[in-house]
Chains A and B, each alone.
Chain A
Amino acid sequence: MSKRNNKKLLNQIYSRPLPIELSSDKYGVAMPTLFPHNPVSWLFYLTRLIQVNTLYSVPQSSETLIDVSYDSDGIFKVSDEESMAKLWRCGFFGKGTLSRSEPTWKARTIKRLNLDSNTANALSMEEVTNKRRDERKKFKAERSRLQELELKQRKGEISDLESSQLEQLRETLASLRLIDFKLSKDSFDRETDLRFEDLDLIESNQLGRNLEFLQLQAIETFFLKFAVNVIRVNDFSTKQLFLECCRQSGILKPTNKFVLDYVVYHHYRSLGWCVRSGVKFGCDMLLYKRGPPFIHAEYCILVISNDDKARYDWFEMAAKARVIGTVKKTFVLVYVDSPTEERFNSILSSAYSDEGILFQDLFKLYKVTEILYRRWAPSKTRD
């Protein structure tokens, strides 16, 4: 597939940045352009506005809420396959528990166990990674053989046969280094090594059940409930969900890790970034411009509170900065100013008829400041 076609396909699949449907998408209606100096255009705009609001129902009001279940294990779980796909495709929420990100375990397993002969031959990201690792492994095996022979040569214990092998190996390795990693579908020979563990999965020559579900982080769950209101978690109200999320990461206080993380998460989500967990790079979050299938994450976020006890020391900072620097990302320190305990508690305990307004008021008390942190090596950055 050419790059351009691929891009077009991606744009089609991931056309919605959030799991909500807009009137303009559903009915194909657009508001006319408004010219401030032309009163006729105001009139036209106004009639259209009234038209749209009366003739068309808001599509989101008829959408059913996505069910999220929550047990004593503290996992926010989405098991329905359609909902899983929707949350992933519209904004990249959640992670497949048996996949790297998008839930692909079912399709991968059907392929691995040869349970469907006509599965589309599209390769999942996990398969591409495995293939790359295999190639790298082969290269390393050749290289270690070469090094062994070179050692023999230096010691002068090498036989004629071995020295010709040595020459050959040198050439193979040089050519292996030149070859770009290429992906062809037939380079994947799918052998089915049926494990004892796999027998459990197969029922009458088909995959019996989908073991995978979509797991949402606490911050994602709260965002989907409070900010876009597209999910239902058990029968929790927004406030109950908030208290439960806070409880997971300690005692209820203004600098609770969940609250700070949520403030930062909401901040970047509302600025249009796709925010995902940064655990692989030792930071709190990663920012993607559109989402993982489009481009690598550019920024690594570390959330820092104004609570003195929770500060990072210089060794931790240096370690993080080195890891993030080697993966060519930018390290962003996000300082969150939190309110006093009195103000926090007074808002949480006062009576609001609308819990949405309560949390709006609560989060308004927080302030987010960003600082870019970069390791600088003077000798390497001269012109």
Chain B
Amino acid sequence: MSLGEQVHTNLVHYNLWTGVRLHDVDGDVTFVSGIPPSKLSSSDSKNQKEWVVPRSLIQNSSISVSEIANWFSAIARLDQQRPRRVTIGIVNDDGTIVYYFIHDGVVEPRQN
């Protein structure tokens, strides 16, 4: 199972997302898109399509800002619009996948 497939399976069968698809861009990065069962953040107006970038914790644990910027522009080309945020899915060697938001710019902090 590739990294993308691991995240795909996790989203579909653990987090119960629907319409999950893998997008290979230039054989370089894989993006996963899909719709979560409910909106992911309380500040969202409605449930929407989300973009996930799978990464491995063991093989390459550092990312640069330019890499992240490239994700946003690559998704903009795939989806005709630049996403407000992407979610990074970090895969550990025990199969745990932890997800973190990366926003395109500054956002208001949410109330806990």
Interface residues of A (CB under 8 A from B): 73-75, 94-99, 105, 109, 140, 144, 195-197, 211-212, 215-218, 220, 248-249, 257, 276-277, 279-280
Q: Given A97-B9, A249-B58, A277–B14 Cβ distance below 8 Å?
A: no
Docked CA distance A249–B56 (Å): 11
30 contacts across the A-B interface (CB closer than 8 A): A75-B95, A94-B94, A95-B96, A96-B95, A97-B6, A97-B95, A98-B9, A98-B10, A98-B13, A98-B14, A99-B14, A109-B13, A140-B42, A144-B42, A195-B16, A196-B18, A211-B9, A215-B94, A215-B95, A216-B94, A217-B93, A217-B94, A248-B93, A257-B58, A276-B94, A277-B92, A279-B92, A279-B94, A279-B98, A280-B98
> Which chain B positions have C-beta within 8 A of A249?
58
> Which chain B positions have C-beta within 8 A of A217?
93-94
Docked CA distance A248–B14 (Å): 26
- CB–CB A195/B18 < 8 A: yes
> Which chain A positions have C-beta within 8 A of B90?
279
**Smallest Cβ distance from B90 to chain A, in angstroms?**
8
Q: Is B2 an interface residue (CB 8 A)?
A: yes
Q: Is B12 an interface residue (CB 8 A)?
A: yes
Interface residues of B (CB under 8 A from A): 1-2, 6, 9-10, 12-14, 16, 18-20, 42, 57-59, 90, 92-96, 98, 111
- CB–CB A277/B96 < 8 A: yes
Docked CA distance A239–B14 (Å): 36
Q: Which residue of the partner chain, among B6, B13, B96, B111, contacts A279 with CB atoms under 8 Å?
A: B96
Docked CA distance A242–B14 (Å): 32
Q: Which residue of the partner chain, among B1, B16, B96, contacts A73 with CB atoms under 8 Å?
A: B1
Docked CA distance A74–B5 (Å): 13
**Contacts A98-B14, A248-B59, A279-B94 known; 6 new A-B pairs at CB < 8 A:** A95-B96, A98-B9, A105-B13, A140-B111, A195-B18, A220-B94
Docked CA distance A26–B41 (Å): 53
> Which chain A positions have C-beta within 8 A of B13?
98, 105, 109, 197, 211-212
> Which chain A positions have C-beta within 8 A of B59?
248
> Which chain B positions have C-beta within 8 A of A97?
6, 9-10, 95
> Which chain B positions have C-beta within 8 A of A109?
13
**Smallest Cβ distance from A51 to chain B, in angstroms?**
43
Closest partner residue, chain A, to B37 (CB atom): A193
Docked CA distance A251–B86 (Å): 32
**Smallest Cβ distance from B67 to chain A, in angstroms?**
20
With most chain A CB atoms within 10 A of its CB, the pick from B10, B12, B94 is B94
> Which chain A positions have C-beta within 8 A of B14?
98-99, 105
- CB–CB A95/B95 < 8 A: yes
Q: Which residue of the partner chain, among A74, A140, A277, contacts B94 with CB atoms under 8 Å?
A: A277
With most chain B CB atoms within 10 A of its CB, the pick from A74, A96, A97 is A97
Closest partner residue, chain A, to B18 (CB atom): A195
**Smallest Cβ distance from B92 to chain A, in angstroms?**
4
Closest 4 CB pairs of A and B: A215-B95, A279-B92, A277-B94, A97-B95
- CB–CB A197/B92 < 8 A: no
> Which chain A positions have C-beta within 8 A of B16?
195
Docked CA distance A280–B2 (Å): 22
> Which chain B positions have C-beta within 8 A of A196?
18-19
**Smallest Cβ distance from B52 to chain A, in angstroms?**
16
**Smallest Cβ distance from A52 to chain B, in angstroms?**
38
Closest partner residue, chain A, to B19 (CB atom): A196
> Which chain B positions have C-beta within 8 A of A215?
94-95
Closest partner residue, chain B, to A112 (CB atom): B16
> Which chain A positions have C-beta within 8 A of B2?
73
Docked CA distance A276–B93 (Å): 11
- CB–CB B93/A218 < 8 A: yes
Docked CA distance A335–B45 (Å): 48
**Smallest Cβ distance from B111 to chain A, in angstroms?**
8
> Which chain A positions have C-beta within 8 A of B57?
279
> Which chain B positions have C-beta within 8 A of A74?
93
Closest partner residue, chain B, to A279 (CB atom): B92
**Smallest Cβ distance from A176 to chain B, in angstroms?**
16
Closest partner residue, chain A, to B58 (CB atom): A249
Docked CA distance A196–B58 (Å): 34
